[in-house]
Amino acid sequence: MTTISILGGTGHEGSGLGLRWAKAGHTVIIGSRAAEKAQAAAVELNAKLGVEAVRGLDNVSAALAAEIVVLTVPYSAHVSTLESVREAVQGKIFVDVTVPLVPPKVSRVQMPAAGSASQEAQNLLGPNVKVVTAFQNISAEHLKDSDHPIECDVLVCGDDKEAKTVVIQLAADAGMKAWDAGPLANAVVAEGLTSVLIGLNARHKVKSSGIRITGIDR
């Protein structure tokens, strides 16, 4: 079992993933800019779990303490959080869940100059960090109910094959089918797809549209 830190893990997406990973037996650390906020979120998750499996730390301490670091912050906090943990994540697997949404037009794909949020992360963290992207299309709605099946596949992009294999297994541990979707350059598809799904949600008055890969035995 692995120690996973979820930076920005006090939000819906991060705490939903944390809940599912803790339930699968992983050691989960919730990170936040303020340690107290992270601790409060951990208390809440432990109450749901019925065991003391989650603790809360400030983002930098959380990043230092884990083998795998997951980033689930709003895009507005992306660069500042990356800068704060750059040293702490060297040599590690860094799972960027960030979607570069630009309010108010969140259903419109608007990528940053680097090409994608995760390319921005790779540029900023440097070549020794194994940046992998995943989970951008998973609605937080169903994540926090850990018995709810997730009807959305996960596209995993990154330039390190082994790191992708680890993340595909982490997705399975959280009840999701994940696929190796190619190099980090392909992350623009997964990040942009979130805007497409937000638009579909609005037009069809649903909360969690998703995608499934077809044509391959599951």
Q: Enumerate binding residues for its own copies (CB under 8 A).
A: 107-111, 139, 151-152, 155, 179-183, 185-186, 188-189, 192-193, 195-196, 199-200, 203-204, 206-217
Q: Shortest Cβ distance from residue 93 to its own copies (Å)?
A: 20
Q: How far is the CB of 78 from its own copies (least distance, A)?
A: 19
| Shortest CB 50 distance to its own copies, Å | 30
Nearest distance in Å: CB 110, its own copies: 7
Instruction: Record the tokens describing residue 11, joined without a space.
Output: 């939000």
Residue 202's H or E segment, with its range, is: helix 187-204
79 DSSP β-pair partners: none
Determine the Cα–Cα distance for residues 21 and 172; give it in Å rounded to an integer.
10
Q: Which is nearer to its own copies, 19 or 138 (CB)?
A: 138
Smallest CA-to-CA distance from 6 within 34, 46, 38 is with: 38
Nearer to its own copies, 51 or 200 (CB): 200
Cα 15 to chain centroid distance, Å, stands at 10
**Whose CA is closest to 174, among 159, 154, 158?**
154
Q: Which residues on adjacent β-strands are paired with residue 132?
A: 95, 158
Nearer to its own copies, 53 or 132 (CB): 132
CB of 19 to its own copies, least distance (A): 21
Nearer to its own copies, 53 or 168 (CB): 168
Select 172 or 185, whichever has its Cβ closest to its own copies: 185
Q: What is the rounded CA–CA span in Å between residue 83 and residue 77? A: 10
